[in-house]
Homo-oligomer: A and B are copies of this chain.
């Protein structure tokens, strides 16, 4: 692992003087662009917007679509907050930030479609500054109820193309990171087919700097020998492009699936699988925990939870069904880019 010092950071990768203005303007424009794109496919119904202020500093703009044609519920949040001290969960990862104020801005989105053949999808991009350190994080991941390999491949391919424009190793590292992060340990399942995810991107090589996730640190540092540090502009450019990749990665899947007929069986399975989404968001999700720990706006943070959810004790899908295939194929890390054509 490359050793890390404050001096190294400041010499190689200082953010520009207008970093906060530029990133928050981008995050707002990403929210606008996504809401416009979703309104276009869902029909006329506009998002409801709530602006909110945070007592300790900052605020946000929450947008929610309820009972749409395509989306049973969709939420797209922008927020920009600051305060005296980052919460302990983050300070543990970035001890250099202790004793400093922080600034954080980001956009996050979760969509819960009505038709069980359309996957749920999540996106989040975020930026932090705290004393001597700054970093970008985020990603996007897809959670099908009924799996289609061509959907998974399309989603991954879209992000792979964007990644490749910026760094030859981005896709491989961030795809793997996504599989590891969106993993329900107590279920032994991935949340879905993944996508890309990364955190603490601060321009220092290797791409991944420990201690999270431990299992990958060794692999990443072995695969990625120190190179010249990436600078702030490189990374901001990369995450902006990732954000703008979302609609092209997801909308074609919606268009392909939203007219597929379904009945009570598919609906019940969808409601049951939504329970896993709740379990992930409340037990593991870093964004949720950050929000709740920093007195964020609870309604905006928990907007990610599905409108209707079912739990069933000791449920197992019948063998040789579409439901069992979800578990066997789509809830495990897979190489979606090289998936055999007709598998």
Shortest Cβ distance from A311 into B: residue? B305
Q: Is A313 an interface residue (CB 8 A)?
A: yes
Q: For A306, give its contact among B64, B282, B302, B311 (CB under 8 Å).
A: B311
What is the bound-complex CA distance between A322 and B208, given in angstroms?
53
Q: Is A154 an interface residue (CB 8 A)?
A: no
The answer to whether B305 touches A307, judged by C-beta atoms less than 8 angstroms apart, is no
What is the bound-complex CA distance between A79 and B263, given in angstroms?
39
Instruction: Knowing A299-B313, A313-B299 are in contact, say whether A282-B292 is a contact too (CB < 8 A).
Output: no
The answer to whether B305 touches A275, judged by C-beta atoms less than 8 angstroms apart, is yes
Please give the number of chain A residues whose Cβ is less than 8 angstroms from any Cβ of chain B in the complex: 30
Q: Is A342 an interface residue (CB 8 A)?
A: no
Q: Is A218 an interface residue (CB 8 A)?
A: no
What is the bound-complex CA distance between A313 and B73, given in angstroms?
9
What is the bound-complex CA distance between A55 and B271, given in angstroms?
31
Residue-by-residue, is A48-68 near B (CB-CB < 8 Å gives 1, otherwise 0)?
001000000000000010100
Residue-by-residue, is A298-316 near B (CB-CB < 8 Å gives 1, otherwise 0)?
1101110111111111100
Residue-by-residue, is A268-286 near B (CB-CB < 8 Å gives 1, otherwise 0)?
0001000100110011000
Shortest Cβ distance from A50 into B: residue? B314
Shortest Cβ distance from A283 into B: residue? B282
| A305 CB to nearest chain B CB (Å) | 4
Q: Is A186 an interface residue (CB 8 A)?
A: yes
| A92 CB to nearest chain B CB (Å) | 13
Residues of B within 8 A of A73 (CB): 313
| A83 CB to nearest chain B CB (Å) | 17
| Highest count of chain B CB atoms <10 Å: which of A308, A309, A312 | A309
Shortest Cβ distance from A299 into B: residue? B314
Q: Is A75 an interface residue (CB 8 A)?
A: yes
| A35 CB to nearest chain B CB (Å) | 15
Q: Is A187 an interface residue (CB 8 A)?
A: yes
Residues of B within 8 A of A307 (CB): 310-312
What is the bound-complex CA distance between A279 and B310, given in angstroms?
14
If A299-B314, A305-B311 are given as contacts, then 19 extra A-B residue pairs at C-beta distance below 8 Å, sorted by A number, are A73-B313, A186-B298, A186-B302, A271-B308, A275-B305, A278-B282, A278-B309, A279-B302, A282-B282, A282-B283, A283-B292, A299-B313, A302-B311, A303-B313, A307-B310, A307-B312, A308-B310, A309-B309, A309-B310
What are 22 pairs between A and B in contact, CB < 8 Å? A50-B314, A64-B313, A64-B314, A73-B313, A185-B292, A186-B301, A186-B302, A271-B308, A278-B278, A278-B282, A278-B309, A279-B282, A279-B302, A282-B282, A283-B292, A299-B313, A305-B311, A307-B311, A307-B312, A308-B308, A308-B310, A309-B309
